[in-house]
Structures are given as C-alpha cells and as structure tokens.
C-alpha cells in the first residue's frame, strides 16, 4: 500500500488539528460525523437504481421497507446524525425552509449548512450528484444557535467541502489548510487520501455553463462565451464545453482539470433574478474550496462571493468560479 493510501480522513483531520494549538477536537468530531453520514448516503446512492426497480411503485423496496426519495433520505440522514453529535448548535438545509435546531443537551459551538443532494434531478439517470457542506463558528449567545449564526459571510467559514457520488465516492474538504481529496474504498468503508493539496490549474480549456439559456443571457455573458469559443490556437481557444447540470460534478472536474463554471444572472425567470444557485449551500462553500486551491469565485458584477453578507437562508447569487486566469478574463467582459 502506498504511503498516501494509508492516510484516512481521521488521520488527516487529526494532523490538521495539531496545526492549531488550543483546538478542542470539536471540528474534527463534526467532520468525522459528517463523513459517516456521507458513507450512509453513498451506499444508498449506489443502491438507488436497484431499489427503484425492485420497489416498482417507489414506495417499498425488496425488504418491504419504505423507499424514500434519495434527496429526502440524504436530508434526514444528515439531520439525524448531526442533531445529536454534540458539535453544532443549529443547521440549515437546502431542502428546508427554516433553521433546524439540534437536540437539547447536545449543543456545540459550530453551525452546519448543507445541500444534502445537489443535482438531485440527475438521480434517475445515473449522473454524479453530491452533498455540499459549510461550517461556521457560533456567534450568538445562548446554547441553541440562531439564524444569525448561519447568516455569516463565507470568509468566516471554518470548513467547507463536498462529497461527490460518482464513478467513485470522493470527499473534498478544506479547513483552511489546503484542499484535500479522499476516495472511498467501499470494500473497507474508509476514505483514503487520493488527492493531497489540490491546486486548480490557473488557466484551463473548459467552460461550464447552461448554454441553452443563451437567449436569456445579458450581453456580458454572451460576449464572454463568444470570446472563448473563437478560434485562436495561440491562446488555446476555442474552449471545450463541459456541463453536467450538477454543480458538484461540474465543480469537481474543474477543480482537478481546470475550468470556469458560470451561473450568471439571466432573464429566464423573474423569481430568480440572481440566477439559480444558493449562497449558503452552494456558492460560499465552493468559493472557500476554490480559493484555498488557488482559484477565484466572484459574482457577475465582480463581488467576492466570500465577502457577501447573507440576509436570507435561501438567498441566490450569480456565480463565476474556477481557474484564476479564466475568471479574471471573464471579468473583463462582465465589468465593462
């Protein structure tokens, strides 16, 4: 076994804890609990097709148990695991309207915001989906956390990450000491370090955007996309399009291979003037990761995603994220 394959998530988390004198181990405990939830979700995702076929109606599986929709299952799994882990004081989920309290007597000093199964419209067609999480420190008084604890800007995150359920299950996270990726070995049920200290390439040849919305786009988006599609061999254009429609999958590919992902403002729906993606559950955690990996995350009017003060748990935000030089180049179109 190579040395790298010996490093489990627990070992990496403990090593990183040692870099912070005075750390109590609570953040490590929180991450370890989340990792258990991720393993449970991963097992269920792998069974999804089977459960559906065997369950027929979608209501019962072969053992006669209720088959829950995977996004509902993932939400319930994370909630149940974390509400009594003792490390957090309040949660918010992309799937729920309000804050989620933890059990009395189990209040800890962190908050957790999560998207239990991002890209869930891809479940039935075997496309990669994922769980995204974001952790802040509690700022309010009292034992139980409040909405104010969750409505903190991204630069105050103490940890962020995602688990992608793809050809293999991969966990990527940061606590501010680099970005590390771990691959789940299902035969032993353990995540092993597979991508230490990830750095996103500073320039890429891939772009990810829902190009079907061209006719809803504002001029800036249209001009930038036209630019990266123009033939210019010296600067590596045209770029290639890669769009899965599952942020975790699109982001993960761009993080490893380089790329720019855009979900800018458009004229598609009047109820989503800021685009579709959520600040707390999608944009801010991905922004922390990409920044730690040397990339950039901005809005389409040039604001740093990490510096946006959230005002609503489900606030949406335009997102342009990825390789540094690509995002900088995009800004020349978005800011003129």
Gap between the Cα atoms of 329 and 332, Å rounded? 5
Length of the chain, in residues:
336
- Between residues 15 and 312, which has the closer beta carbon with respect to ligand AFP? 312
Residue-wise DSSP of 239-268:
PEE---S-HHHHHHHHHHH--EEEE--BSS
Of 91, 164, 247, 255, the residue at the interface with ligand AFP (CB under 6 A) is 247
Please list the residues that pair with 136 across neighbouring strands. Answer: 111, 157
Of 29, 108, 119, 145, the residue at the interface with ligand AFP (CB under 6 A) is 119
| Structure-token match 């065997």, residue found | 54
First to last CA, the chain: 53
- If we measure between CA atoms, which residue out of 107, 163, 103, 113 comes closest to residue 136? 113
Of 204, 246, 254, 323, the residue at the interface with ligand AFP (CB under 6 A) is 246
Q: Is 126 in the site for ligand AFP (CB under 6 A)?
A: no
Of 236, 245, 273, 302, the residue at the interface with ligand AFP (CB under 6 A) is 245
Shortest distance (Å) from residue 130 CB to ligand AFP: 8
Gap between the Cα atoms of 262 and 297, Å rounded? 10
Shortest distance (Å) from residue 210 CB to ligand AFP: 3
Gap between the Cα atoms of 301 and 263, Å rounded? 12
Q: Is 264 in the site for ligand AFP (CB under 6 A)?
A: no
Range in contact with ligand AFP (rule: CB under 6 A) among 37-45, 161-169, 246-254, 325-333: 246-254
Q: Is 120 in the site for ligand AFP (CB under 6 A)?
A: yes
- Between residues 106 and 213, which has the closer beta carbon with respect to ligand AFP? 213
Site track 184-213 with ligand AFP (rule: CB under 6 A), x = hit = --------------------------x---
| Structure-token match 């092993």, residue found | 192
Q: Is 221 in the site for ligand AFP (CB under 6 A)?
A: no
Cis peptide before 238 (omega within 30 of 0): yes
For the purposes of burial, counting CB atoms within 10 Å of the CB of 193, is it exposed (0-12), middle (13-18) or buried (19 or more)?
buried
Shortest distance (Å) from residue 45 CB to ligand AFP: 14
Q: Is 276 in the site for ligand AFP (CB under 6 A)?
A: yes
Shortest distance (Å) from residue 184 CB to ligand AFP: 21
**Binding-site ranges for ligand AFP (CB under 6 A):** 118-122, 210, 245-247, 250, 276-277
């Amino acid at each position: 076994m190579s040395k790298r394959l010996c490093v489990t998530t627990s070992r990496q988390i403990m090593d990183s804890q040692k870099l912070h004198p005075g750390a109590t181990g609570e953040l490590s405990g929180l991450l370890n609990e989340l990792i258990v939830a991720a393993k449970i979700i991963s097992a269920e995702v792998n069974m999804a097709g089977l459960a559906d076929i065997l369950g027929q109606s979608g209501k019962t599986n072969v053992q006669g148990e209720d088959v829950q929709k995977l996004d509902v299952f993932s939400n319930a799994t994370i909630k149940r695991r974390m509400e009594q882990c003792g490390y957090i004081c309040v949660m918010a989920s992309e799937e729920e309207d309000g804050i989620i309290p933890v059990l009395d007597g189990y209040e800890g000093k962190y908050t957790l915001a999560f998207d239990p199964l991002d890209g869930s419209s891809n479940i039935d067609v075997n496309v990669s989906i994922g769980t995204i999480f974001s952790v802040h420190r509690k700022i309010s008084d009292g034992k139980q956390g409040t909405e104010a604890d969750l409505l903190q800007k991204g630069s105050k995150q103490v940890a962020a990450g995602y688990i992608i359920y793809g050809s293999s299950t991969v966990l990527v996270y940061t606590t501010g000491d680099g970005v590390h990726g771990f691959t789940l070995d299902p035969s032993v049920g353990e995540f092993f370090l597979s991508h230490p200290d990830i750095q996103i390439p500073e320039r890429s040849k891939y772009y990810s955007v829902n190009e079907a919305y061209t006719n809803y786009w504002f001029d800036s988006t249209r001009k930038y996309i036209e630019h990266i599609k123009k033939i210019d061999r010296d600067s590596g254009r045209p770029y290639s399009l890669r769009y899965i429609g599952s942020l975790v999958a699109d982001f993960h590919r761009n993080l490893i291979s380089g790329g720019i992902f855009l979900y800018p403002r458009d004229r598609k729906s009047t109820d989503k003037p800021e685009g579709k993606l959520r600040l707390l559950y999608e944009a801010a955690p991905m922004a922390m990761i990409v920044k730690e990996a040397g990339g950039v995350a901005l809005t389409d009017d040039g604001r740093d995603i990490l510096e946006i003060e959230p005002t609503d748990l489900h606030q949406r935000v335009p997102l342009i994220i990825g390789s540094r030089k690509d995002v900088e180049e995009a800004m020349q179109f978005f800011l003129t």
